[in-house]
């Protein structure tokens, strides 16, 4: 016991723990379990203080807004042109003001799940913008000026339900690596997308595609291609030439022709053929209500697919060809 007490005392002295912490009524308390805490506390406090200071400094450059009580952006926002990030979601805001052109340092523009019906041409002034997310709004088109955002790396236009084409000017987005245009009304992959040379992720699921371009292998850096919930009847052989493609997801119901090399790929390609289960829809007179129901269903399905894809990537032993995965969601 004496040896234990001396070892404890020596250990406490090495760590700078005061006697009051290990003495109880004048005797050494060898049952003390939190002896490490006092010695580390000053350093931890210092570390937390530094961390809090950094967070406070970063928060000065981030604007956040949410809640259906908001129908427009606050007037005071136009005075905060030093901001680097906007995070506006779940509001009833319909328009983005032209003064957004003043925010030259803006890096992230997250505007998902609002009621935005158009993007201003002034968005092209955001030369430093890296992330633009306008998913699940009411957009029907995209301004060609968006092509001037030459440093854009991530573009999410999913869930707007009505976008049918993209301006050719978006071909200038050479830094873009992630693009999501799912849950819209594209009848073909836009030409501008085929010219995005650094694209690694393309989600064009839940559209109206009937075929893929024969030169889709121009997307040499593409790793993930999501095509489920379209009306594809065949897949072009050009997909075999895409050496970096490691995940291809399609809806297998209408497919009658699939290049054998895709199913027998030795490059680690995971080819997933989903079976689309028809979702029972309640017919109602209000068209807007139908669209909202579809939009809500698309949100749920996207969360499911995100989890499913993450699971696929983690399971390296998954067969390269997975067939007929039932996807059935009913709201």
- Chain centre distance of CA 164: 22
For the segment 280-309, what is each residue's pLDDT rounded down to a tens digit?
444 445 656 666 788 888 988 888 888 888
Distance between CA atoms of residues 238 and 218, nearest Å: 9
How far is it, in rounded angstroms, from Cα 1 to Cα 30?
9
Fold of 61-274: 3.80.10
Can you say how many angstroms the Cα of residue 249 is from the centroid of all Cα atoms in its chain?
Answer: 18
Range with lowest mean pLDDT among 12-21, 45-54, 159-168: 45-54
Model confidence pLDDT, tens digit, residues 218-275? 999 999 999 999 999 999 999 999 999 999 999 988 888 888 888 776 667 888 888 7
330, pLDDT greater than 50: no
SS3 state at 43: helix
Per mean pLDDT, which range of 7-11, 32-36, 83-87, 151-155 is the poorest? 32-36
For residue 25, what pLDDT band results from cuts at 50, 70 and 90?
Answer: low
28 vs 246 pLDDT, higher one:
246
Q: List the chain domain ranges.
A: 1-31, 61-274
pLDDT per residue over 108-149, tens digit each?
A: 999 999 999 999 999 999 999 999 999 999 999 999 999 999
Strand pairing category for 224-226 and 27-28: unpaired
Going by their DSSP bridges, the two strands 85-89 and 154-156 should be labelled as: unpaired
pLDDT digits 0-9 by tens, 54-84: 455 567 899 999 999 999 999 999 999 999 9
Q: Which of 85, 88, 123 is nearest to 106 (CA)?
A: 85
Q: How far, rounded to the nearest angstrom, does the alpha carbon of residue 288 sit from its chain's CA centroid?
A: 26
Q: Model's pTM, two decimal places?
A: 0.77
Query: How many Å apart are CA 197 and CA 174, to the nearest integer?
Result: 6
Q: Give me the mean pLDDT over the 37-55 stretch.
A: 51
């Amino acid at each position: 016991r004496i040896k234990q007490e001396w070892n404890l005392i020596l250990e406490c002295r090495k760590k700078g723990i005061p006697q009051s912490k290990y003495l109880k009524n004048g005797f050494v308390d060898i049952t003390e379990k939190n002896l490490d805490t006092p010695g580390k506390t000053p350093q931890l406090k210092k570390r937390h203080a530094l961390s809090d200071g950094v967070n406070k400094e970063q928060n000065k450059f981030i604007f956040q807004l949410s809640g259906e009580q908001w129908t427009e952006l606050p007037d005071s926002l136009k005075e905060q042109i030093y901001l680097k990030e906007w995070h506006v979601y779940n509001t009833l805001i319909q328009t983005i003001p032209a003064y957004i052109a003043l925010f030259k340092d803006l890096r992230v523009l997250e505007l998902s799940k609002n009621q935005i019906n158009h993007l201003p041409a002034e968005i092209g002034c955001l030369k430093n913008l890296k992330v633009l997310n306008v998913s699940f709004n009411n957009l029907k088109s995209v301004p060609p000026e968006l092509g001037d955002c030459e440093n854009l790396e991530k573009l999410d236009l999913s869930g707007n339900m009505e976008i049918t084409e993209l301006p050719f000017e978006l071909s200038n987005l050479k830094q873009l690596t992630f693009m999501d245009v799912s849950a819209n009304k594209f009848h073909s992959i836009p030409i501008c997308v085929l010219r995005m040379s650094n694209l690694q992720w393309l989600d064009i699921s839940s559209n109206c595609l009937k075929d893929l371009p024969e030169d889709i292998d121009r997307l040499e850096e593409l790793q993930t291609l999501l095509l489920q919930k379209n009306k594809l009847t065949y897949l072009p052989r050009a997909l075999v030439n895409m050496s970096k493609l490691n995940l291809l997801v399609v809806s297998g119901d209408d497919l009658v022709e699939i290049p054998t090399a895709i199913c027998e790929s030795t490059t680690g390609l995971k080819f997933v053929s989903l079976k689309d289960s028809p979702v029972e829809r309640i017919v109602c007179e209000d068209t807007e209500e139908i669209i909202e129901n579809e939009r809500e269903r698309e949100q749920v399905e996207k969360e499911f697919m995100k989890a499913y894809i993450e699971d696929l990537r983690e399971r390296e032993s998954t067969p390269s060809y997975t067939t007929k995965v039932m996807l059935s969601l009913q709201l």
